[in-house]
Amino acid sequence: MSGACWRPVAATALAGVVLAALGSTSAQSPTRFRDAVFTKVDRTEQIAFRTATASTGQAVTLALDVYQPAGDSEGDRPVVIWIHGGGFRPGNDKRQKYIVAMSEAFALRGWVSVAPDYRVRANPDPDRAPALKDALDDCRAALEWVRANAAGYRIDASRMAVGGGSAGGMIAVNLVAAENSEAAAGRRPGVFALVNLWGSPSTALTVAAIGKTYPPTLIIHGTADQTVPYSQSEALAAALKANGIRHRLVPIEGAAHTPTSNMPMLVDQVAAFLFDALPPPTSPRR
């Protein structure tokens, strides 16, 4: 893939961009992995994937949910790991509304979606670095769980994308940097794409360096965000550009934090990006 940057667009232009990318919906048949081709989703809940030590010193068992298209018989399916937000505090988990919405939307498109929990803290401020470290370790364990269980869920682990919102975006930005650096060193597939929803980390919370192995990245962020400043996404985009990483920064003009009032438009934007970035399967589809 080229190192070119997609030009940012305002929220009012998102629908037009999606239609331009996909073509006229009336002229095309639905395409698996891009469009909703299933009508129901099967969700397998509360699958334990790790036992870890919380900041209180107690052992906690972390679980994840798996979303699959109901009635699907295909093999070698791509997977998206969706990481929830919540400021590293209790109150949100893997059932956060837009995480569930994204997980279901991509299962309807033929993907497998995985939504993990991670350790949180009652008082992560003012230094969130320890909370980020715990969460990053937990989400890396979730990726390892996906790889270890890929055959049972008919997943092609070489086609793994990561998405996250708010604190989940901060985790995801660091996660793919660490994963792809190690994958390149070990000559194995890494994460093929990142979806960062209003979660670009500050310099203090960037603990894994962006380099040449970073995957194609989509950043969507409200320009009036008072929780995670939009300028942090501009800085992330600049770092991606400096490293020649294909990326797109989509500003939602005037929007505050977590601008999910038009989820169908956001889903279409993400679906177009992931479909474009999706590599071929490692073996013929069955």
Residue 96: closest CA among 124, 121, 117:
117
Distance CA 154, CA 112 (A): 9
- Residue 29: the pLDDT is 85
- Residue 28: the pLDDT is 73
Question: Which segments of the chain have a pLDDT < 70?
Answer: 1-27, 283-286
Query: pLDDT per residue over 222-233, tens digit each?
Result: 999 999 999 999
- Residue 3: the pLDDT is 40
Domains of the chain, with CATH numbers? 5-22+32-52+62-277 (3.40.50.1820)
- Residue 27: the pLDDT is 53
